[in-house]
Every structure is written in structure tokens, then in C-alpha cells.
Structure 1
């Protein structure tokens, strides 16, 4: 005897209240993410998925979120991420859908003198949303750097205080299905500080990094402006924001500089925008 299970979520709701987002939060899931070299990298992601819910519908079918993620998990890049959100909208019968995916992204880096390879991890996030009118894909990276204080160097007989800095870049690509990806943003962030950070350094490498950073002192303001200078000239980028934070080594507070969301066509955007 077949027993028909009731579909409670599909039952009507009479309170007349539409909900902007209903979904799942904090899901840990293995994904294959495209890299900037045409390959794929497996990441352990934390995922949030949601859809809008009409005023007349009682609930969302949460299992369908996992079904969609499972079907797209091995092909996540700019193009497929947008297609995944469209698939989610269609399968849930919703006007709006949103997926946020956060994960550590590993890139191989060579020590500056010995050339010994090791991997660095970078905190990355995709935020994809779509409705009937448009689709938006936001990318964010948080990149560690080293910074040497220009003031400390200028006033000291020897040495200068230095610290770990964190450069966070958020962008919206002009073509969300284009080739702008995390690797590009990570490079921009690393070049903004006094020196990149490495997982593995031998003594010749450490000497080089220490002296190179000393020769290139920067405030958080300098790092933020360095990043903005590059982003505003990148024709692939439609909108961007920058935040730089230094864990000050001689203070019990952090220092930061921030550039808010700005389109590259606004004043303060591309210098050639007229």
C-alpha cells in the first residue's frame, strides 16, 4: 500500500506576508572552484542559499537547495555560478534567489630568493543574486600582507615597526560571466603592501623580505589608495570597494582605511571617465 506523504510547505498561508529570503545557512560542503589557470581547486566551502517566498506559500522546500548545490558543485566559476542561481530560482518557483559561498582559496607561491614553493590560503567569497530583471555576482578576497610604518622608519635611528595587514577587496564585474577572478584581485592586494606574506621562507628569503619591506613603507591609507588606483583602471570592473586593516604591533588597537562601494564611471572612478 502506497502512503502519500503530505507536502506541508506547499500549503497556502493566509497571513499575507511575503518573505525576502528563506533558506539554509552555514552549510559546509566540498566544491570544485575554477582557478585563474584554467583548472579547478577543491575547497571546503561554507554556503548560504536563499529564495524569496510569496505571501501565499507556507514554506520553502529546503532539500532542493542541497540538490541544486550537489548538481553544480564540480563546476563553479563566474558563468556556472550565475547559472546555478537561475536553476535555483526555477526549481523553487521563486522571483529572487541568492547564494553566498565562502572558502579558503590556495595558491602556490615561490619564496623570493630560493624559489622554494609553498601554498598560501586566501579568504574568498562569492555572493550571487538574481531576479527577473538582472543577475549580480560579487567577488571578495581578504589577503594578508606585511606593512612597515613610514613614520616609524623616518623618526627612528634604526628599525621600524611592522605588522600584518589585511587587504579586503570587493568587486562587481562589468561582465559577470567574464574572466575576472580571485587570482587577479589577490595579486592587486599583495602588491599594495610593503611585502607579500609567504608560508615558507628560508634565511635568504627572510632577509630579502625584511629589507624589501623596509624599503617600501606604507600606511593603511597608502595601501587602500594603491588598490583603488589599480581597480579604477581595470575595464573589467564595474564597481568596487576596498578595506585595509593593520594589526598594529606597537598599539593595542588596529588601524584601518576604507574606500566605499564606487562604480568605475563615478567621480573617483576611472580617470578617463568624462
Structure 2
């Protein structure tokens, strides 16, 4: 029998809030509104608490648990993973973070050319000492925003930039990522597309000019529409403009609990 060094008493008997494995690349499947299921590659981090009486945790057990639950990621699966983590690692709390690209087929506004657009998404779940389960998800949506001030003061044109709108929500029932993406894109000057021809670029440029948006306008519009979703328990909305004529980005943030 080899010695179990992790179960030795540490020099400093201090509780650790989170210890575990980080950034495991792993194939998963997530629910897709149109196709039922979408395979993707995730980066997964898994943590438990560690009492001060133990020197270390057993890292291999995280991987064993992940292998046991491979496949479709749902709320039920996340809870099962967290329960196994608490049991196998004798922990009071467990946490999991799953980051992955999610793909949607998008059609250009004039040419109708189709392509795949990627969105960075994430699931985050915790099971506390009382076995209370909490989960939220995050989606980052790239959009186009045109500056209202630049439009007002310029004789021709206005500066515009790619923007990243990040929405994090907690809900009592399923909310599709596609619906949040559509909501965000409707609040910006224009959506982005994976494939554009000249006629599409002309349309988007002119469309964005007629729908100028500050970063503040975007977070307020998104928050307004999120307020109309009765299933939410809390949300956060962030918007960051990757400025094209300034040597800095601009940012706005709103959060709300119901």
C-alpha cells in the first residue's frame, strides 16, 4: 500500500474554500433549441472545499467523476456531478464551471449566405453544505455599435466598433441560449454575421447608422427586456465597446435580483 499523503495533517491547519482541477478540455453536448443537442468542446473546472485537517484533496477523483457523467450536460447532470464530488471527496460544498463555444447558423441580411457564428458560453453550478443547488449560465454576444455622439457631430459618417455584451442569468426554468442571443442582438446597432457580401455590408452599415447606440443604451435595453422574463431570479448585463478611435474601451454594467 502506498501512503496517502493527502490525508496527512498540514503544517497550517487552515480551511480552503476551493481546491480542485482547472481547465480540463473535454467533449460535451448541450441542449440546442433547433437540433435538440449540440456537441462541443468545453473547458471544465471542478472544486470542493477542503477542511484544515487535511493536507490535500484527491485530484484524480474529479476526473473519474467527470468520466462517469460524460455526455449531455443538463441541470440534473450538473447536480449529480456535484453530489458525487461531495461524496467521493468527503466535502461539504462542490462547484463546477463549464466554458464552451456554442454555434448558431446565421444568414446574411441581403445575400442570404449562411455560416456558423460562435458564442462563448458558460454553465456555473454549486452544491452547498445543505445540498442546496444553484446554477446560472453566461453568454457573450459580439455585436456592432455605432456612436450617437459621433453621428451627431460629424458631417459624414460616424465611428463604430465591435462590442461584447455579456449576460449572466439565473432562472427557475429553462431559458434557451438562442433566445438570450436574439434579445441582445436586437438591442445593438446591428448583429454580426459570419459571412457577408458587399450588399450585406452596405445594408449593415446603413442599418447601424439609423440605430446608433451608446454602451449605456445597450445595457439598459437588454435589462429592460430581461425584466419582462418572469422566470428569472437575478441577472447581470455587461457591455464593452472595443473602441475604434480611442485608446481605451468603454463599459457599462447592470445587475438585478428579483
TM-score, normalized by the shorter chain, greater than 0.5: yes
Secondary structure of 2:103's match? strand
Q: Write out per-residue CA displacement over residues 157-186 of structure 1, whole angstroms, 9 at most, x where no aligned residue.
A: 22111110110111111x2xx312322222
Q: 1:70 aligns with which of 67, 70, 86?
A: 67
Q: 1:111 aligns with which of 108, 111, 122?
A: 108
Q: Which has the higher mean CA deviation after the structures are superposed, 49-58 or 77-86? A: 77-86
Q: Write out per-residue CA displacement over residues 128-151 of structure 1, whole angstroms, 9 at most, x where no aligned residue.
A: 111133111121111100011111
Q: Which residue of 1 aligns with 2:218?
A: 223
Q: Write out per-residue CA displacement over residues 209-241 of structure 1, whole angstroms, 9 at most, x where no aligned residue.
A: 111111111100100101100111111210011
Q: Which residue of 2 aligns with 1:8?
A: 5
Say whether the 8 Å CA contact 1:82–1:137 is kept in structure 2. no
Q: Distance in 1 between matches of 2:249 and 2:222?
A: 19
Say whether the 8 Å CA contact 1:50–1:98 is kept in structure 2. yes
Is there any run of 5+ residues in structure 2 with no aligned partner, and where?
none
Question: Relative to structure 1, is the Cα distance of residues 32 and 188 closer, same or farther in structure 2, using a 3 angstrom cutoff?
Answer: same
Q: 2:164 aligns with which of 166, 173, 177?
A: 166
Say whether the 8 Å CA contact 1:161–1:250 is kept in structure 2. yes
Counting only pairs closer than 5 Å after superposition, residues 167-246 of structure 1 correspond to structure 2 as 167-173=165-171, 175=172, 178-246=173-241
Q: Which residue of 2 aligns with 1:252?
A: 247
Question: Relative to structure 1, is the Cα distance of residues 87 and 37 closer, same or farther in structure 2, using a 3 angstrom cutoff?
Answer: farther
Is there any run of 5+ residues in structure 1 with no aligned partner, and where?
266-274
Secondary structure of 2:5's match? coil
- Aligned-pair Cα RMSD in Å: 1.7
Q: Which residue of 1 aligns with 2:139?
A: 141
1:156 Cα offset (Å): 1.9
1:12 Cα offset (Å): 4.8
Q: Write out per-residue CA displacement over residues 40-65 of structure 1, whole angstroms, 9 at most, x where no aligned residue.
A: 22222112110011232332111111
Q: Write out per-residue CA displacement over residues 172-203 of structure 1, whole angstroms, 9 at most, x where no aligned residue.
A: 11x2xx31232222222211110000110122
Q: Which residue of 1 aligns with 2:17?
A: 20
Q: Distance in 2 between matches of 1:193 and 1:160?
A: 15
Q: TM-score, normalised by structure 2?
A: 0.93
Q: Which residue of 1 aligns with 2:119?
A: 122
Count of paired positions: 257
Q: TM-score, normalised by structure 1?
A: 0.88
1:204 Cα offset (Å): 2.1
Secondary structure of 1:128's match? strand
Secondary structure of 1:121's match? strand
Q: Which has the higher mean CA deviation after the structures are superposed, 83-92 or 222-231? A: 83-92
Q: Distance in 1 between matches of 2:64 and 2:145?
A: 45
Q: 2:86 aligns with which of 86, 89, 93?
A: 89
Question: Relative to structure 1, is the Cα distance of residues 77 and 115 closer, same or farther in structure 2, using a 3 angstrom cutoff?
Answer: farther
Q: Write out per-residue CA displacement over residues 15-45 of structure 1, whole angstroms, 9 at most, x where no aligned residue.
A: 5422211101122222222223352222221
